[in-house]
Structure 1
Amino acid sequence: MDEFNIFKYWLTQVSFLTEKDCSLFEPFLKTKRLKTKDHFLSAGKVCQQIGFVNKGCFRTYYIADGKEINTHFTFENEFVTDYDSFLQSKPSRYFIQTLEDTEIVTFNLPALQDAYNQSQNWERFGRMIAEQSYKMTTQRVESFLFLDGEQRYLDLLKNQPHIFDRIPLYHIASYLGLERESLSRLRKKIAGK
């Protein structure tokens, strides 16, 4: 049960959930291992699960005019899901794909709702996930509204430098709304300062 222990440890350290809350939820957890380039979710399908990433990383993207546009990267100790699709049981517009071999602990909506009914702490936890999802979406939208490509790059470098160690540059360029060549020029320019 080692893979569950990572999740349980994170839950009790990062949130207000108790050992009792966790044991109530444990029967609903499943471990999933995915290989590099496997899809956790495909556009048009309903997102049935939330996954807690024990190991590995994911990218979330959509396709526009034949191009893959990255919108998010997910790493260890984060949740991978299309939260809107998950909550409303509606088809997703996104693909979620592994960029490395990954291990996740998953749970579904009925399990989460059951936990909400049994514990106020789980309700608070659900609210925390919703708030994080909202914050992340707002930050992403506002970065495109109020920052240019260079500012988005500098913001990513400052707040999430680990991304550059694990994500290929062409994926980062797409995420920043830049062409790969533009990102390379930008990196050289900033490195030269």
Structure 2
Amino acid sequence: MGDIEAISGLAPPAPTPFTSSPSLDAFKIPLKTYLQEHPEFNSVAVAAFVFNEDGKLLIVQRAAHDSFPLLWEVPGGACDYEDESLLHAVARELWEESGLRAKSIITLVGEGMAIPYRGNRCMCKYSFLTEVEQYDVKLDPNEHQAFLWVTEEEAKAGRCGDVDFKYTTKDQRLAVFEAFKLRDSRQARAD
């Protein structure tokens, strides 16, 4: 398929342990505790921004039969009450949606975003820059049907090779741009 790949995943084992930055300690709490402390929200979603060794960002295409069919996003999803913490939800969702194991959850990308849904309900979504153990993507075809590793220019243009793509939402698109800026500023500080 050229620059676009679709791989069927197998039932995943539990994600391996990961490290996280002390700046993320506020997210080392279970969903139930977070919702008790933030009654304005009914649920929490998380997303993982993963860059490969070439500095390209992983984006995944939603399945044709799912909500936002055929649109593109970064791996993520809803926190579950069974998750040990919100950060564990990041690692779990990354594993379930891409087959990638979180090695380190580094920093928050942007701020928490309130997303109204189903009438008067409201979800908060947090996105995190995440390092992984390997880059061998294995998609769950029930959720996503393809993936791309994109450069910043491709992310802005909405085109990678011969594939045109659109993000699930304007906010997802803006978060992608923010992740590239954050990655660049972290690299500049490291140099």
Q: TM-score range by the shorter chain?
A: under 0.3
TM-score w.r.t. the length of structure 1 is 0.28
Answer 1 or 2: which has greater strand percent: 2
Query: Relative contact order (alpha carbons < 8 A, sep ≥ 6): 1 or 2 greater?
Result: 2
Q: TM-score, normalising length from structure 2? A: 0.28
Greater per-residue helix proportion:
1
